[in-house]
Amino acid sequence: MRSPNDVLNLDRLGCLYSYRLSFMRILTRKIMNERWRINSTQFDLDENGYGTAIYTVDTTQDRFTFVVFAHHLDPAKRSDRVIADQWDMTVTLCAGDVDEEQMLMLRKNVPVQEAGRVDSRSIVLSRANKSSRNFDYVVDELAAGRQPDLQTLARVGYLYRTTAVYGSGKFGMADWQLVRRKYADFARPFAAEMFSCFMIRQFSLDQAEAIAHKRSPKTAVNLDDSLKRYMGIGNATGLGMAPYLINHPQLISRWIAIRETAIDRICQHAPVTEQKLSALGAMITKAAQHLAEIATDNEDQNRRNNATIKEILAIRDFLTEQRSTDWPTVLVKIRESASFETQELVNSLLTELYPELIDDLEDDLCLDESLQLVPEQSLIDVRKAIEDKYGWVLDIDFDNRESRSVFWYRSLEKSEPRLGHRGSDPGEDKAMAMTVAYDVRQCYDKLCGFIESNPGACAADFAARYPGYRSILRRIQTMSQYIYGDIHANLADTDILPIHLLRCKLSFFGVSKFDPKSRLWVRNTMFQGAPICSDIGEKYEDDWYFPVMPDS
Amino acid sequence: MAIKLSLNELTSLLKRSLEGLAYCQSDFEDAANAIAWLESHGLKGLEIEILPARSAHGAETSATASESGESIAVFANNNVAFCGRMAVELACSIAAKDDFAEIEIQHCRERRAILSSLPVCAARGLHAITHWRDNNYLYIASINAFRKTPDIRYLPNSLDHTSDLNRLLFACASDAQVINSLSNELLSNSDCIDRHDSSESLKARYEDAITGGIYVDDEVVNTLNGYAEKILVEATEQSRQGAGE
């Protein structure tokens, strides 16, 4: 296994790519292999596509209902920000069938999202906005009887973009504990949320076709299936996602450990064969094309993508001359010459080569989270644990103003997390607890002093004497038990790049085409290249990773 | 009017509210978890007083062990929602060494909040018991090692125990027999049990809360939201830049 110092480096985590065990991939395999039946049972849209749609979803175990409300939205109100209060589409995923009474409740509450209340029959609440560039263009072309131009579609890659996907009991919905226990199909992290995005994508395609047909019944055509598959669902993710990574260290650690275990198993047990090298070479070619097709205005991301393309193509050439018989030797050579982006891209591709070695790990992505004090642990052992596991914290000079210049706070506007600068922005006194590194350092210093006068003391003695440190002490003791503990990042540093946190989590979700809009938020694409509902029942190849434009 | 909240939503609201009341992170996490645990087990957690007792402006000082020794520690003047888990953790550390520990929390209030910490003790492989009195009852709660839910008995409190009205006793041991003996001794003081919340019945209430949500009076929700708003910062054009606009 790679060392925590390597893996938990935020610069590296900010270069992660989706891989075979990313949540969208796992979900799609499940839908396709189990042949879920997804049917549109109500599709009451007017000529503009506004109205209500209902899809029933029959898995092998349960029935779910996906309810969509499509609205008129003043273009001036269309915003990716969480603080928006109107959207083109609002949706909920419900357990079981939805009767009239429930439908009335949903109609009243789902369109207003955070301002409404649902109940535990709802599992996910979400919304999405049209891509102003793509949606009208696609409808116009279909209505005129033409397929939209592939190059035009490719510049965006989706018709709608989600701006928030809520689950886990928010706004009265089903608690995660309930979902995990009662609905086995969604008993993996964010499975229900990912499925809702899959369905938003499906509705976006259905709606575009419906509008085209209503507008021009005689000339309209459906979108080609290959283009439908190429249309993903867009996503905009901002700082709201960052606290999750700090507040769920055990879960994030588990996801990272699973990814590392997958890579390690391949290194330990998979021989390098000509066939595998050839397959990897083909994957690299596809990944390079995928990166080349990313359209972003972000110069840094473009530079990174171009550098990665250059590096992976060089690696492809290197692999054709490869005589090594084990992956560790190959990976060491790659590591010596390539950037984090390229290293992690190759790691992701490796996982595609050996499903038989890693697929069982998808059952281990959940864990019960609870930060627990180990009250009897000697303080000397706690100090050693900090020195061993949080050495990166002890290397930070907190006397340097820049290492503490940023604070995180929640805005009055929908509690949106935001960044402020100490000494100049208001809200410092209301800062969120995001400064794990600083808190560990404070605890360490206090604890060292306590040990001097109480050499035989245990963690509980220290916590009772300094109760304000209970929380960080629990975190230190709990996370010290994991191979991959806390992310190595000082989130108060002036140079912090929150976008790395976002990309890390999004890679586990399975998104692609990162398009950073600033260091604070990123657009990306979900399910691009994935099967569409009408593909269910057909042979499934599970090869939609790093999607590229279909042959025109 | 009541609003139905999920357990996760209630816990989150409580944390934000208590943070808004200026409690430190350790305190607001412990108290929020304690209150939500009680509420989800049908034990009226939301009736627990959360306002700081001594200062209308700042946080109540966190609980501090004023004395800790081989087998007993005494806490002073505190709300058990905030100090209960710490007391239990301290007892666990003593029991890990001595196989038995007893903690007394004096001058305390909201004593039933200790119930949420019993599973913490049980998860460490210890058997535990806690008891306290009010004018009506002697409350006895116990849990076996590795169980998730305690068993609570309510005995009529016919004796004059005015000195006991603001203290709480907690004991844990590695040997189940030790705790059973303590329990039997307490139960022998009374002829009858007025009420019994078995671990099974508490578990059933918890399952109901998870399945259907928890009804909370909307005035309570509004009050909690009011506290929670104190952690929010006024939005300005400048602040919107801080989210990437």
pLDDT for B71 beyond 60: no
Of A172, A176, A425, the CB nearest to B4: A172
A94 and A48 share one domain: yes
pLDDT for B65 beyond 60: no
Which single residue is written with the structure tokens 């001036």?
A76
Separation CA B143–CA B119 (nearest Å): 7
Average pLDDT over residues B90-96: 94
A206 and A100 share one domain: yes
Cα angle: B102, vertex B108, B111; to 5 degrees: 75
User: Judging by beta carbons within 10 Å of its beta carbon (0-12, 13-18, 19+), is residue A312 exposed, middle or buried?
Assistant: buried
Average pLDDT over residues A228-242: 93
Half-sphere CA count of A531, side-chain side, radius 13 A:
24
Mean pLDDT lowest for which of A17-21, A189-193, B238-242?
B238-242
Q: Do B244 and A238 touch (CB under 8 A)?
A: yes
A231 and A92 share one domain: yes
- Asked if the structure places residue A53 within a domain, the reply is yes
Separation CA B112–CA B46 (nearest Å): 12
Which single residue is written with the structure tokens 């019994």?
B196
Q: What is the pLDDT of residue B96?
A: 94
Q: What is the pLDDT of residue A173?
A: 97
Please identify, among A435, A463, A479, the residue that sits at the C-terminal boundary of a domain.
A479
- Asked if the structure places residue A434 within a domain, the reply is yes
How far does A308 lie from chain B, in Å, by closest CA? Answer: 26
Query: In sequence order, what are the beta bridge partners of A39?
Result: A56
- Taking CA atoms, A236 is separated from A59, A165, A297, A504, in Å, by 29, 11, 15, 14
- Taking CA atoms, A241 is separated from A236, A466, A502, B138, in Å, by 11, 31, 6, 47
Please identify, among A479, A508, A538, the residue that sits at the C-terminal boundary of a domain.
A479
pLDDT for B54 beyond 90: no
Using a CB-CB cut-off of 8 Å, the residues of chain A touching B240 are 413, 418
Structure tokens at A181: 């226990």
Separation CA B1–CA B18 (nearest Å): 23
- Taking CA atoms, A379 is separated from A439, A477, B83, in Å, by 17, 11, 21
CB A209 within 8 A of CB A142: yes
Using a CB-CB cut-off of 8 Å, the residues of chain A touching B233 are 409-412, 418, 420, 426-427, 430
Q: What is the pLDDT of residue B159?
A: 66
Q: What is the pLDDT of residue A125?
A: 98
pLDDT for B39 beyond 80: yes
How many beta carbons lie within 10 A of that of residue A26, not counting itself? 21
CA-based torsion, A301, A302, A305, A306: positive or negative:
negative
Name the 3-class secondary structure at A475: helix
- Asked if the structure places residue A421 within a domain, the reply is yes
Q: What is the pLDDT of residue B59?
A: 37
pLDDT for A279 beyond 50: yes
CA-based torsion, B20, B25, B31, B36: positive or negative:
positive
Q: Do A410 and B231 touch (CB under 8 A)?
A: yes
Using a CB-CB cut-off of 8 Å, the residues of chain A touching B210 are 175, 177-178, 181
How many beta carbons lie within 10 A of that of residue A194, not counting itself? 26
pLDDT for B15 beyond 90: yes
Mean pLDDT lowest for which of A176-185, A310-319, B234-243?
B234-243
Name the 3-class secondary structure at A488: strand
Q: What is the pLDDT of residue B242?
A: 61
pLDDT tens digits for B186-196?
Answer: 998 777 888 99
Q: Longest Cα pair distance anywhere in chain B, in angstroms?
A: 69
CB A351 within 8 A of CB A358: yes
A69 and A189 share one domain: yes
Q: Do A467 and B5 touch (CB under 8 A)?
A: no
CB A346 within 8 A of CB A315: yes
- Asked if the structure places residue A456 within a domain, the reply is yes
Mean pLDDT lowest for which of A20-29, A375-384, B98-107?
B98-107
A343 and A422 share one domain: no
Of B6, B24, B234, the CB nearest to A172: B6
- Asked if the structure places residue A489 within a domain, the reply is no
Nearest to residue B172, comparing CAs of B133, B144, B202, B140?
B144
The pLDDT > 70 percentage for chain B reads 86
pLDDT for A333 beyond 80: yes
Q: What is the pLDDT of residue B58?
A: 36
Residues with Cβ within 8 Å of B167's Cβ and at least 6 positions away in sequence, in order, are: B104, B105, B106, B107, B108, B132
Q: What is the pLDDT of residue B61?
A: 42
Of B90, B124, B238, the CB nearest to A464: B90
Separation CA A53–CA A66 (nearest Å): 8
- Asked if the structure places residue A496 within a domain, the reply is no
Average pLDDT over residues A337-361: 96
Separation CA A295–CA A234 (nearest Å): 13
Average pLDDT over residues A29-35: 97
| Chain length of chain A | 552
A446 and A331 share one domain: no
ipTM: 0.92
pLDDT tens digits for A64-89?
Answer: 999 999 999 999 988 887 778 999 99
A385 and A348 share one domain: no
Separation CA B183–CA B201 (nearest Å): 20
Nearest to residue A351, comparing CAs of A240, A480, A258?
A258
CB A529 within 8 A of CB A230: yes
Which single residue is written with the structure tokens 């996906």?
A66
Domains in chain B and their CATH numbers? 1-61+200-237 (1.10.1530.10), 63-197 (3.30.1370.60)
pLDDT tens digits for A189-223?
Answer: 999 999 999 999 999 999 999 999 999 999 999 99
Q: What is the pLDDT of residue A18?
A: 97
Using a CB-CB cut-off of 8 Å, the residues of chain B touching A416 are 243
Nearest to residue A448, comparing CAs of A467, A400, A440?
A440
Residues with Cβ within 8 Å of B240's Cβ and at least 6 positions away in sequence, in order, are: A413, A418
How far does B124 lie from chain A, in Å, by closest CA? Answer: 9
Using a CB-CB cut-off of 8 Å, the residues of chain A touching B4 are 117, 119-120, 172
Q: What is the pLDDT of residue B235?
A: 86
A339 and A413 share one domain: no
A190 and A67 share one domain: yes
pLDDT for B64 beyond 90: no
Mean pLDDT lowest for which of A223-237, B40-54, B62-76?
B62-76
Structure tokens at A378: 């000697």
Separation CA B227–CA B245 (nearest Å): 28
Using a CB-CB cut-off of 8 Å, the residues of chain B touching A177 are 7-8, 210
Q: Where are the beta strands (DSSP E) in A470-535?
A: 512-516, 522-526
pLDDT for B70 beyond 80: no
Separation CA A251–CA A71 (nearest Å): 37
- Asked if the structure places residue A80 within a domain, the reply is yes
Could you tell me what percentage of chain B is helix, strand and coil, using 3-state DSSP and rounding each to the nearest 5?
45, 25, 30
Mean pLDDT lowest for which of A229-238, A479-488, B73-82?
B73-82
pLDDT for B243 beyond 80: no
Separation CA B214–CA B208 (nearest Å): 8
Q: Do B242 and A418 touch (CB under 8 A)?
A: yes
Q: What is the pLDDT of residue A551?
A: 84
pLDDT for B63 beyond 80: no
- Taking CA atoms, A216 is separated from A141, A210, A222, A477, B111, in Å, by 11, 10, 12, 65, 71
CB A121 within 8 A of CB A174: yes
pLDDT tens digits for A289-310?
Answer: 999 999 888 899 999 999 999 9
Structural domains of chain A, count: 3
pLDDT for A148 beyond 90: yes
pLDDT for B165 beyond 60: yes
A55 and A148 share one domain: yes
pLDDT for B241 beyond 80: no
A61 and A138 share one domain: yes
A307 and A435 share one domain: no
- Asked if the structure places residue A447 within a domain, the reply is yes
Separation CA A393–CA A391 (nearest Å): 5
Domain that holds residue A227: 35-238
Could you tell me what percentage of chain A is helix, strand and coil, using 3-state DSSP and rounding each to the nearest 5?
50, 15, 35
AA letter at A82: V
Q: Do B8 and A168 touch (CB under 8 A)?
A: yes
Q: Do B93 and A376 touch (CB under 8 A)?
A: yes
Structure tokens at A203: 């509705």
CB B80 within 8 A of CB B110: yes
Radius of gyration, CA atoms only, chain A:
25
Average pLDDT over residues B17-40: 96
